[in-house]
Structure 1
Amino acid sequence: MKIYFASDQHFGAPNSEESFLRELKFIAWLDEVKKDADVIFLLGDLFDFWFEYKTVVPKGFIRVLGKLAEIRDSGILIYFFVGNHDLWMDDYFQKELNIPVYHDNKEFVFNGKTFLIGHGDGKGPGDKGYKRMKRVFTNPFSKWLFRWLHPDIGVRLAQYLSVKNKLISGAEDVKFLGEENEWLVQYAKRKLEYKHYDYFIFGHRHLPMIVDVGENSKYANLGDWIGYFTYGVFDGEIFELKEYNKS
């Protein structure tokens, strides 16, 4: 059994030229892991912005989408969790790629190990500004209003804000804040008060880490595909973080 996890590719940022190079590297990684993968989890922010109009999706990323389609058609399961940058994803992945899309955490059990998996945005204490903004973004009326913008206007505006607005992008100094100040660490510890999980797997923080949060329980953050190029792998016994070094 090999289960792979990756998060926070942010394709499209900061510009198409730099994004394209990262896309090629990610596709090379997918070509490697498909050789022995049973399941691949993508934990959000695959795109720096994504919005599904009724008949239109953002231009670009065809190589990534094509590779995901190829892998899924081969029989390998792929699960996608929306992040704070692609939270307006609807049913395009499900209909075109046969990839389920989740908008919140979901529990999985593999080889007797229980996983709680999600992107991680808006979880735990703090981050109140983003939590308020997320409620606005996910409000059906807000989505309805945005849909009335012509895609050439709406997508360009959203892409600009996604890069420039720190509250939206989550851009900050990526450094370990200590267990007491890492919101997802605290979130995991609180969840353990009600149920045991062997692993909490999240993205969003852009900082690869594995932290013991309880007896036989670990929180892992996958890092990103901007500066770290890290991913997670579970071999049926243990979970590890690894770095993809191929240029």
Structure 2
Amino acid sequence: MSSIVLNIPEGKKVYFSSDNHLGAPTPEASFPREKKFVAWLNEIKEDAGAIFLLGDLFDFWFEYKTVVPKGFVRVLGKLAEISDSGIPIYFFVGNHDLWMNDYFQKELNIPVYHKPQEFTINNKSFLIGHGDGLGPGDKGYKRMKKVFTNPFSKWLYRWLHPDLGVKLAQYMSVKNKLISGDEDAKFLGEENEWLVQYCKRKQNQKHYDYFVFGHRHLPMTIDIAESSQYINLGDWIQYYTYGVFENNTLELKEYKES
């Protein structure tokens, strides 16, 4: 895996966020969270050198050839504004928006990643991803993910009219936890946290200063080895937490509107 190198100018910061699940449980209920996230984006654009969005921005996203899900115009418009201003944004698909293809790339100039990717940011090494299906266990979800990401399965699904396809997927996203891949948002202990085990295995193969993931909906910082940390970004449902890399250090912060 080749590393993408970012040299962030002095005085600029790198921001990370994950798991907004916009649209859940209903568009109306998630609207205040969307406005809060847009307010955060509007604030950080002043000193951002790069922004990483680590998946599940939407509770459901499926791209037909000529159709994308209705809504989310405020957050999409803000991302377009930031991207157009020259601030790079990197998007990693999550288990709720894993059907994303090239819409973000073509419309917003935002590259999309479907698996963890190495980055070198100001000489610090990062392994970044959403986090679903990594590490031991979670076998039921891993089987379902293979089905849903299979090109033939996606081809079949596109034959559903978007009104039916989106409605069905939104229902399954909320109701079926096997499909969603969500787990109870409680800390299971280092020995039972699958992402911690994944990071330790990767660290044995190659040193990373930071492993940055979402998916677990729990803000946490865990030492993997000497000079190596696993950071989980939490979510924008209960915690409103995000990561900020500044002065060669990554830490979690909570967003509170000014």
Q: Which residue of 2 aligns with 1:112?
A: 123
Residue 172 of structure 1: CA displacement? 3.5
Given the alignment of the two structures, is residue 244 of structure 1 paired with residue 241 of structure 2, yes or no? no
CA distance in 1, matches of 2:240, 2:22: 13
Q: Which residue of 1 aligns with 2:67?
A: 56
Name the aligned partner's letter for residue 19 of structure 2.
D
CA distance in 2, matches of 1:173, 1:63: 30
For residues 22-75 of structure 1, give each alpha carbon's deviation from its aligned partner in whole angstroms, at most 9, with x where no partner exists: 000000000111010000000000000000000000000001000000000001
Given the alignment of the two structures, is residue 97 of structure 1 paired with residue 114 of structure 2, yes or no? no
CA distance in 1, matches of 2:237, 2:93: 18
Q: Which residue of 2 aligns with 1:126?
A: 137
Residue 112 of structure 1: CA displacement? 1.0
Out of 216, 219, 224, which is 2:227 matched to? 216
* 1:96-175 → structure 2 map (5 Å cutoff): 96-175=107-186
Moved more, 168-177 or 101-110: 168-177
What percent of counterpart residues are identical?
77
TM-score, reference length from structure 1: 0.98
* 1:11-26 → structure 2 map (5 Å cutoff): 11-26=22-37
CA distance in 2, matches of 1:24, 1:239: 26
Name the aligned partner's letter for residue 73 of structure 1.
D
Residue 93 of structure 1: CA displacement? 0.3
CA distance in 2, matches of 1:240, 1:77: 20
RMSD (CA atoms)? 0.9
Q: Which residue of 1 aligns with 2:20?
A: 9
Q: Which residue of 2 aligns with 1:30?
A: 41
Name the aligned partner's letter for residue 166 of structure 2.
V
Residue 175 of structure 1: CA displacement? 1.1
For residues 99-125 of structure 1, give each alpha carbon's deviation from its aligned partner in whole angstroms, at most 9, with x where no partner exists: 000000100011110000000000000
For residues 118-153 of structure 1, give each alpha carbon's deviation from its aligned partner in whole angstroms, at most 9, with x where no partner exists: 000000000000000000000001000100000000
User: Secondary structure of 1:8's match?
Assistant: coil
Q: Which residue of 2 aligns with 1:196?
A: 207
Residue 246 of structure 1: CA displacement? 1.5
Name the aligned partner's letter for residue 85 of structure 2.
S
TM-score, reference length from structure 2: 0.94
Name the aligned partner's letter for residue 226 of structure 1.
I
Residue 168 of structure 1: CA displacement? 2.2
CA distance in 2, matches of 1:14, 1:75: 34
Asked if structure 2 preserves the Cα contact closer than 8 Å seen for 1:198 and 1:216, the reply is yes
Q: Which residue of 2 aligns with 1:79?
A: 90
How many residues in Structure 1 have an aligned counterpart in Structure 2? 247
Q: Which residue of 1 aligns with 2:8?
A: none
Q: Where in structure 1 do 4 or more consecutive aligned residues deviate above 3 Å?
A: none
Out of 183, 187, 193, which is 1:176 matched to? 187
Name the aligned partner's letter for residue 214 of structure 1.
A
User: Is there any run of 5+ residues in structure 2 with no aligned partner, and where?
Assistant: 1-11
Residue 171 of structure 1: CA displacement? 3.7
